[in-house]
Amino acid sequence: MMKWLLPSGVIVITCLLCTLTFANSTVFEFSVDRPMDEVYDNVYKSLEDARLYVVFEPDIGKNLSGFADRWGDQYNRNRLTAIRSMVFCNGWYANQVSNLDSRMLAFCPLHLTLIEKDGRTTALFARPTVIAADSPAREILAELEHEVIAAIKKGMSQLNH
């Protein structure tokens, strides 16, 4: 019986560690099998509905495309078909973070990046809680992180219905 318990225990521990690593990964990723032009407006609206107001919308892919000739074979080696970002903020959260740890205002404003490849769009969001692990503002940043991730998931998941 002990022969079976040891391998089973190792498998369970490995699965738990993988789960913890995913939950604490530096960058949150969420993908849908839809092109950017079908995803972007839904994510924008979902952020705004969550009172995370978009203040700037750089089209990074378009900006980089101007360097295609100059960079030659070093340009877009991943063959991404679109790269866009949304820069957003919520004044209440900014104030709360400032009250607790003004250094964490480095997150104000926040941003997410959407990338597209082969008709699949992925949202990328750097998790504030990773950097703020020892900050007095970690709890409020965790709440904000949760709000942002929920808005991303909501905006992108609506496309699957």
Give every CB contact of residue 105 below 8 A, 6+ residues apart in sequence: 94, 97, 98
Q: How much is the average pLDDT of 58-77?
A: 97
pLDDT level of residue 22 (50, 70, 90 thresholds): very low
Judge residue 81's burial from the number of C-beta atoms within 10 Å of its C-beta, 0-12 exposed, 13-18 middle, 19 or more buried. Answer: middle
Cα 26 to Cα 77, 79, 121, 159: the distances in Å are 23, 24, 19, 26
Q: What's the whole-model pTM score?
A: 0.83
Domain ranges of the chain: 26-160
CATH number of 26-160: 3.30.310.70
Greater confidence (34 vs 2) lies with 34
Query: 52, 147 in Cβ contact below 8 A?
Result: yes
Question: What Rg do the C-alpha atoms of the chain give, in angstroms?
Answer: 19
pLDDT value of position 128 = 97
Greater confidence (20 vs 33) lies with 33
Answer whether residue 24 shows pLDDT above 70.
no
pLDDT level of residue 12 (50, 70, 90 thresholds): very low
pLDDT value of position 17 = 42
Q: How much is the average pLDDT of 143-158?
A: 97
pLDDT value of position 158 = 84
